[in-house]
Structure formats: C-alpha cells, structure tokens
Amino acid sequence: MRFLALLGAFLLCHIANASEIYNEEQERTYRAAYLQLNTIPPTEFAAKTSVDRWLIFFGSDRCPHCREYVPIWLEGQQYADELGSDQVGFHIGKVECYGPMDNENLCADEKIEGYPTMKLYVDGKAMEEPEEIRELDQLKAYIDKEVKKARAQSKTSEAALAELQKLGEAGSKARADVNPDGQLIHLTSADFSWRTQNQPWFIMFHAPWCGHCKALAPTWEMVAPALQGYVNVGKVDCTKYGDICKQHGVRGYPTLKFLDAHGAISEYSGERTYKALSEYARSFVSKPAFTVIKASEISKAISNNEVAFFFLYNPTTAGDESKKILNAFTEAAVAVRSVAKVFVSPDASAHTALKVAPTHKPVLVYAKDGGEDISAFSADLTDAGSIRDFITSNRLPLVPQLVSSNQDEIMGGDGKVVLLVIDPLKPGREAALGAVRTAAKNWGGSASAQQVRFAWINGKTYSKYIQRIYGLEESSYPAIVITDPKNDAFYNVDKRGKPIQVEAQALLDSIEDVILGLGKPKYTTGFFANTVRSLKTNANNTSAWIRDNFILTLFVVVAAVGICVYGGFLPGSGRGGYAKAE
C-alpha cells in the first residue's frame, strides 16, 4: 500500500509538472501572438471604424477562450494582409475589454456580453456578429467573402471618383468666348454691368493723373493677350466713371480686382510684374473646381486646411434632383476655387467621418479649426448662387492670421477688425488665441456681428510695421487693437484708458464700447489726412471756414492728393506704388 501511495504521488507530481510546462508554452505563444495584433485603443475606435469594413475581435486578457483564440486571430490577420485587404477597404482589429475604464466602457457601449465576440462594422455601423469563425479555415473563408465585397465596392468607388474628377477638371479649359482677341477693354458705365456678367474679368481701376497707374499701363496691356481664352482684361477710368469705382470700393489707384464669372470679387495685392499678374489671373481659372477624395482622406483634409468644404455626393444613388444639385454645386465651385478649398467625396462613409446624418441626398458642409466647427448648408442645393454665397461667407476661419496676401480681404471692408498681436514663440500664445476665439464665437451671435471681424498677426514678423502704425512695442505682446480701416483709425485702450485686456469678456465689452462710440480713436495717418477727414466729417459746419481760409484749404487739399501711401500695408505685399483716392 505504501508503495502504491508513493507511486500515485509521483504520477500526480509528474502530471502537474507536465501541465505547468504546457501552460508556460501556451502563455509564450499567446504573448508572442498578442504583441503582433492590430489592437485599437478606445480613443481611436470610433474614428477607425467609421470608414470601410472592420472585423473586430472583442476579448479579455482574463478569458481562457480568448487567449486560445489569439494565435488563430493573428493568422487570420496575416492572411488578410496577404490579400491586400487594407487597400480595398477591409481591416481586422482587436479590442481589449479588460483593464482601464475606457476599455471596459467601450465594450459596454458596444454591447459586448461575452468573450470572445466578433463584430463586423461597415462605415461605423455594427452589421453582424459572425459566430462560425472560431476555427482558422472558417475565419479565412469569412475574410475571403468580406474582401471580395470590399473589392467590388472599391471598384465602384474608384469609378465614381474618376467621374467626379473629370467633372472637376472640366472648368479649367480655355473658352472661345472669353477674351477671344486677347485685347484690353476700356469699360464704361454703359457696358460694365452686362460685360462682366457670367465671365471672369481682371480689371484695373485707375486715374489719369496717377503716376503709378501710368507706370503699370504698359504691363497691363501685355497681360491681355496672355490671358486670351481664360480671362477678360479691362480698365476703368475712375475720374469718368466714379459710380463703378464707388460700387467696387476703390479707395486708391491703381486698384486691381478679379471678378469671377459668378460675382465673387478678389483684390490683387501682389507684385505688379507681367509674370505675377498673369499667373494670378490664370490661377482662378486653370485649377480644378474641387478635389475628389475618399472618406478615409477627410480627416487629413481637415487637418491640413483651416477651412475646408465637403460635398458628399454618390453618383450611384443620385436621381435627377441630385444631378441638378451636382451641376449647381460645380458651377459654384468653379466660381470660388481661388478662395476656398473644396472637396467632393462619393463614399457613403463620408457622412460618418464628418458627423453628418446618413442620407442618399447630396450634402454640403464646412469644417473649420481642425473640425471643431462643422456646419451644413441648409438652403436650396439647386441654387448655385446660394451655394457660392455659403462658401464665400464661410471661407475664413474664425480667427484667421493676417498676412500680406489676405490683408485686403480682412482689412478692406467697412467694419471693425479686432486684431490680436502676438509673438508665436512666447508662452501664452494659445491662451491668447483661445480668448479671442471665444470672443469671436460669442460675438457671432450678436446683432452687430457683421460689423466686426477677428484676426491675429505675428508681432515678431511685423514688429516694425506694428510699432509704426499702432505704436506697440514687442514687450507689450500679446496685445489687442480694434481697428477701423475705413477711417484709418484704431483703438488699443478701453474707455478707461487702460490697454484692452486679452480676455474674452473684457474684449467683448471693449468692442461694444467702440461700436457705441464710447472709445476714443487714434489715427494711422498724419496731419494732412486728419485735416481732410475733419473737414469731411464736419462738412456742414465748415463751408464758411473754407471760404474764409481758401488758401489754407487749397494747400491742404493739394498736399493730401499728392501723398502716396506706402506705409499702410504689410511688408511683403508687393503693391508697388499706390495713390490714395481721397
């Protein structure tokens, strides 16, 4: 009996050791396989599965069945890679449900009630839970089926992409009815309106007495033949046709403006060379109206553009109404291609990527500031004019950077401009921008919203300009200046005489005070311009003074007309000379 007991103990010990050796080997296999899996963190799950087809394995590190399945899943993942599944839109991933709270919450949200659970997601939606894929041959068969579906869908998508790409490029060809003879046209009040309808024009607004206009004239004559078939080239004499110049906000000479075929206007502020002028005008009409992208590329497009517009249109589901919408959108996109970045995606999953409710109908949205602000067009999508207005009115970010290339667009209106001056290398940049963005958002809902724009400027790059125009030293950054470009005025202190605070509510209060006329303006111009401004402002009370002081008045007016403004523009604008219209 004693012998049998010892033998039994020996056998039990041997079996236990063998089991321990087996478990250790199984553990090593599990760990080695787990490290090679395509694991998806909870923070990335929604974004990844929102596009394409995803087969997800939800499991737990504490689950024996999951641990046994991991090596099989890895072989399935490797098999999918061999098929090139990622390229056609089918992916495999693993989610760990045990451990950090985020992991457990994700699995709870996805209604995972046991382990292992496999789910198929298509463009963000859970479609099915395949159960018969526990064995490797079953898993491979399922992968084959899904890759085949994804490949067919990819071919359809590629065809749609090609069709849309062709449409986007159609507007960049030369036209026989635009600038057919390559000659400069002198426009008048009688023909300006009808000539500039439905065709692109590059126009020089000038005055015969302006020396800078005379210097530019030979180059302007050469630009016309260079733009034959693409852009009409014209001139307007503002001393004869002041109504046209007033309508287009001309404040000095020469002013060069591009009028597209659908009414959008851009003022040119670059170099006045033949090459620069020709390339600028061609840029409006030579590039595609929009860029066609896949849903998987939307995130990158948002990251790379402060403002991006997305038109979601699937030709395979488009009816007659959708085709009308596509035509209207294309017409609008052609008009705004030089001032806005427009994308088109035929993928159904694009709706999910942009957090837009799924629909078979076309949708137009904009995404600003890294996707923080996404809004859809809600008017009539068959109206090209409404689409164009939506894009042009939303083409700037909430708080754009002011640089030489966009200064006319930002500073050229009739309203006020809140300008944040910062040194990007100094601490506090993001806090200052955040405060101004908050103020801009809150101001956007006010009754006076259209009267105010917001922007920021690199105080380091333009330090001399800022010191000369606004009297601000670098040591005062970050600083706020509320500018009134139309009147060459600005405000850098509040109604108490203190520097305007870089804080949202304080900034809103200061803006309100300026709008109500409670602030005391300073001026960016000197004695002569201020004297003329004073005379204009108080015209009703000064007529007698002018009669009594005719010689002094004549001196002021002649001196003001003779002044050419060089310092009122950001360095690098390349404007050459510019004679103030006043």
User: What does the pLDDT read at residue 567?
Assistant: 41
User: What does the pLDDT read at residue 510?
Assistant: 92
Tell whether 381 is covered by a domain.
yes
411 lies in the same domain as 517: yes
User: What does the pLDDT read at residue 212?
Assistant: 94
Tell whether 177 is covered by a domain.
no
CB crowding 230-244: b at 16 or more within 10 Å, else e = bbbbbbbbbeebeeb
Tell whether 515 is covered by a domain.
yes
- From CA 364, how far away is CA 353, in angstroms rounded? 13
User: What does the pLDDT read at residue 102?
Assistant: 94
Going residue by residue through the chain, which has 582 residues, state the pLDDT in tens, using 9 for 90 and above. 444 443 443 343 343 343 444 478 889 999 999 999 999 999 999 888 877 899 999 999 999 999 999 999 999 999 999 998 887 889 999 999 998 999 999 999 999 999 999 999 998 889 999 988 999 999 999 999 999 988 887 766 677 667 777 777 666 666 778 999 999 999 999 999 999 987 889 999 999 999 999 999 999 999 999 999 999 999 999 999 999 999 888 989 999 999 877 566 888 888 899 999 999 998 878 778 888 888 889 999 999 998 999 999 877 665 667 778 888 898 888 878 877 899 998 887 788 788 887 777 889 999 998 888 899 999 999 998 899 889 988 888 889 888 876 777 788 777 899 999 999 888 888 899 999 999 988 887 655 556 888 999 999 999 998 999 999 998 999 999 999 988 889 999 988 889 999 999 999 999 999 988 888 899 886 544 444 444 444 444 444 444 455 454 554 444 444 444 334 456 555 455 656 555
**Of the candidates 124, 159, 194, which is a domain's last residue?**
159
449 lies in the same domain as 545: no
419 lies in the same domain as 334: no
**Of the candidates 354, 371, 393, which is a domain's last residue?**
393
213 lies in the same domain as 252: yes
Query: Would you state the torsion angle of the CA atoms of residues 290, 295, 299, 301, taken in this order, to the nearest 10 degrees?
Result: -10
Tell whether 14 is covered by a domain.
no
Q: How many CA atoms lie within 13 A of 117 on its CB side?
A: 17
What's the structural domain count of the chain?
Answer: 5
User: What does the pLDDT read at residue 59?
Assistant: 95
Tell whether 21 is covered by a domain.
no
Measuring CA to CA, which residue among 523, 520, 515 is closest to residue 488? 523
DSSP characters over 539-551? HHHHHHHHHHTHH
Measuring CA to CA, which residue among 267, 271, 272 is closest to residue 250? 267
User: What does the pLDDT read at residue 442?
Assistant: 87
| Cβ–Cβ < 8 Å for 48, 54 | yes
498 lies in the same domain as 546: no
- Which residue pairs, CB below 8 angstroms and at least 24 apart, start in 470-478? 470/421, 470/524, 471/522, 472/421, 474/423, 477/421, 477/422, 477/423, 477/426, 478/420, 478/421, 478/422, 478/423, 478/426, 478/428, 478/429, 478/432, 478/502
82 lies in the same domain as 132: yes
CATH number of residue 513's parent domain:
3.40.30.10
Tell whether 2 is covered by a domain.
no
90 lies in the same domain as 40: yes
* C-alpha distances out from residue 174 to 75, 162, 205, 341, Å: 56, 22, 26, 22
Tell whether 101 is covered by a domain.
yes
379 lies in the same domain as 444: no
User: What does the pLDDT read at residue 549?
Assistant: 53
Q: Which domain holds residue 503?
A: 407-523
297 lies in the same domain as 279: no
Tell whether 400 is covered by a domain.
no
467 lies in the same domain as 481: yes
42 lies in the same domain as 103: yes
User: What does the pLDDT read at residue 174?
Assistant: 65
Rg (CA), the chain: 33
Query: What residue has token string 């995404």?
Result: 367
304 lies in the same domain as 378: yes
**Of the candidates 159, 175, 207, which is a domain's last residue?**
159
User: What does the pLDDT read at residue 537?
Assistant: 45
